[in-house]
Amino acid sequence: MDLGEKAIVFDTFNTQQASQDLKHMAESITNHPVTWVINSHWHGDHIRGNQTFEDRIIISSQATYKSMKDIHPSRFAAQKNDIDGLTNYIQSLTNQLIQNKDTQLPYQINFLNEIKNSLPTLKLVLPNQTFIDEISFHGKKQTARLFTLGGGHSFCDAMLYIPDEKVIFMGDLLFVNSHPTFFEESDLGHWTNMLKKVEGMEIDVAVPGHGPVGTKEDISTIIHYISDLTAIIKESNNNEEIEIPPKYKNWSSPEVFLQNIKIVETLLNKGTPIL
């Protein structure tokens, strides 16, 4: 995002190779150096490219910083120490592809190969600036507001709003034409409430963590998705037999649907309020 003589990068992808491409494209398009880099939340596919921007200002919420600092060192070390295991797993998937021609396997194999290639030189770079509720950025052309309403998808999720352009970057609070990923750490009730608050903002463009660029309508769609899954599970006697509703049938990452069913079921069994 170009603020005028200063550019912001929102999340740094899953590998340093990808983040190097991101940096090149951001500075080529804006014709300005990247000044600020934002980590929307702690998950690896949004922060593992931080080392490309080690000499820039990397910003996250205090909660995201803590999660990164507490969780990632051991995860990075374990992955770097098991490159042979990952190589063997990739080979097993390649063998499966030869056998059954699964159309999703090539994407998974390419994804894992990218991870494998990143591991020898991968290092954890933590944010060097944090905020609690919100922080503003000012350029010669426009301003931007980085804020968090708490945790929904993750322990804490930040969003970047550019009021002059009515654009919001939402990280993994928003998925477009793709099944959103629920985790045990997710707070689906608060996630829904946060999306409802964002719906009240002036927004023309909503940039998701996964999927194509969307609109305010896509924010409403995720609210309905959470509501629909909750209602389906409450009415079902056998969650193993639940099928993807027709309106979500063509979304990417259909394998996530069953995972989401299990997460919602677990939350409801714990008595966790969702709606």
Mean pLDDT across the stretch 134-162? 95
Give the pLDDT of residue 13: 96
* Nearest CA among 56, 51, 48 for reference residue 27: 56
Give the pLDDT of residue 130: 98
For residue 176, is it within any domain?
no
* Nearest CA among 127, 157, 159, 160 for reference residue 60: 127
Give the pLDDT of residue 126: 98
For residue 133, is it within any domain?
yes
For residue 186, is it within any domain?
no
Confidence of residue 145 (pLDDT cuts 50, 70, 90): very high
Cα dist from 133 to 35, 49, 144, 209, 249, whole Å: 21, 24, 14, 20, 37
Average predicted confidence (pLDDT) for the chain: 93
pLDDT, tens only, 168-220: 999 999 999 999 999 999 999 999 999 999 999 999 999 999 999 999 999 99
Domain that holds residue 87: 1-165
**Number of C-beta neighbours around residue 60 at 10 A:** 29
For residue 152, is it within any domain?
yes
pLDDT, tens only, 32-75: 999 999 999 999 999 999 999 999 999 999 999 999 999 999 99
pLDDT value at 275 more than 90: no
pTM of the predicted model, to two decimals? 0.93
Tokens representing 266? 């677990």
Q: What is the CATH number of the domain that holds 103?
A: 3.60.15.10
Confidence of residue 252 (pLDDT cuts 50, 70, 90): very high
> How many separate domains does the chain show?
1
Mean pLDDT across the stretch 128-135? 97
